[in-house]
Amino acid sequence: MKIGTVKEIKTHEYRVGLTPSCVKSYVSRGHRVMVETGAGISAGFEDEDYTAAGGILADRETIFRESEMIVKVKEPVPEEYGYLRKGQIIYTYLHLAASRELTDTLLGKKVKAVAYETIETADGSLPCLKPMSEIAGRLAVQEGAKYLEKTYGGRGVLLGGVPGVERGKVAIIGGGVVGTNACKIAVGMGAEVTILDINAKRLEYLDDIFSTRITTLYNTDYNLEKVLSQSDLVIGAVLLPGAKAPQIIKRGHLKLMKRGAVIVDVAVDQGGCVETTRPTTHEDPVFVVDNVVHYCVANMPGAVALSSTRALTSTTLPYGLLIAEAGIEEACRKSPALLKGLNIYDGTCVYPAVAQAFNLSYTPPERLLF
């Protein structure tokens, strides 16, 4: 198969879809890989590393024109829409439920779009979302701690406290992969941590691994309001797979919060779990509403591009190789996990939560591929 990867052009996105090591894996199996000149530099990979691995350097236009499969990191941005063509496989994060415009574009272009974030194994886990969630969770506390500093508009609270001074309070809403990783770092920094979730099994698990070092709570209206009123840093980490995030923190809740408290809404890439969230960039990451600092960067892992690219590509490569070997249709028939990743196929929406988000007609992918 002819495969191509291009330089990401979303603001402050430094990751790249293929590392030189991935290129080598494709090339050694007889595939042809084109890499946009300079695509990996910000992630720490030189052009020569790609050519040494068997890749061919080319310009963006050539890559989109000649590749049967484009491997990216972020969803295509408007500057890239014009390059997409019928039948082309787009293998990347898509987060379609958060963007009607992108969904309509991919449908109109009749591409075959696989979203990393909805590839789902039999036990319900999301292997290509997990490494980025691990990174975003850990970064959420690092960034939150920074914006709690007075010069960045925060309350001026040190999460770990010092002898004789109370520790900072961190609330984490959603105790999945992001929440657990945020918890590890917050506990490590010495903060007082409370995790809210609606899944009893998850709360049980967190209580087991963190034991008495954290408090776990069911996310009820009462508990949420109480925790919000006491917290210095709130991390939004909920997920309904493939769907728009539920708005858990309403605008009215902000009035309960302390002046200069910080919300890091990691779920912003799925629309956000805070009513006042709007996506921000690494260039201009925060804004203030009702005296509460909001950090809502949609591509947080881009800030640590080298770690993120290595973590991401190690999970996307096996599915990418399967697509390259068998073609998208046969690959989806062979791998139920990959089939779940298919969101758009030849002008049809084949992922239920995306169809539901925009009232589009939905066709089960099995009907088209089996």
**Site residues for ligand NAD per CB under 6 A:** 129, 132-133, 136, 173-179, 196-199, 202, 219, 237-239, 245-246, 248, 266-270, 298-301
Active site residue 269: yes
Q: How far apart are CA 161 and CA 159, in angstroms?
A: 6
Q: How far apart are CA 129 and CA 141, in angstroms?
A: 19
Catalytic residue among 49, 197, 232, 269: 269
Using DSSP's 3-state secondary structure scheme, residue 65 falls into helix
Tokens of 286: 């925060």
Nearer to ligand NAD, 165 or 209 (CB): 209
Q: How far apart are CA 294 and CA 280, in angstroms?
A: 9
Q: How far apart are CA 169 and CA 288, in angstroms?
A: 20
What DSSP state is assigned to residue 294?
E
Nearer to ligand NAD, 1 or 183 (CB): 183
* Least distance from ligand NAD to the Cβ atom of residue 3, Å: 25
Q: How far apart are CA 200 and CA 314, in angstroms?
A: 31
Catalytic residue among 95, 197, 253, 265: 95
Nearer to ligand NAD, 190 or 246 (CB): 246
Long-range contacts of 349-352 (CB under 8 A, 24+ apart): 349/103, 349/107, 351/96, 351/115, 351/118, 351/242, 352/242
Is 305:43 a contact under the CB 8 Å cutoff? Answer: yes
* Least distance from ligand NAD to the Cβ atom of residue 218, Å: 9
* Least distance from ligand NAD to the Cβ atom of residue 298, Å: 5
* Least distance from ligand NAD to the Cβ atom of residue 54, Å: 31
Q: How far apart are CA 127 and CA 131, in angstroms?
A: 8
Nearer to ligand NAD, 63 or 303 (CB): 303
* Least distance from ligand NAD to the Cβ atom of residue 264, Å: 9
CB-based closest residue to ligand NAD: 176
Backbone phi and psi for residue 293, each to the nearest 5 degrees, phi listed first: -80, 130
* Least distance from ligand NAD to the Cβ atom of residue 115, Å: 11
Integer angstrom CA distances of residue 290 from 175, 213, 251 = 26, 31, 9
Amino acid at 293: V
Show which residues are catalytic. 95, 269
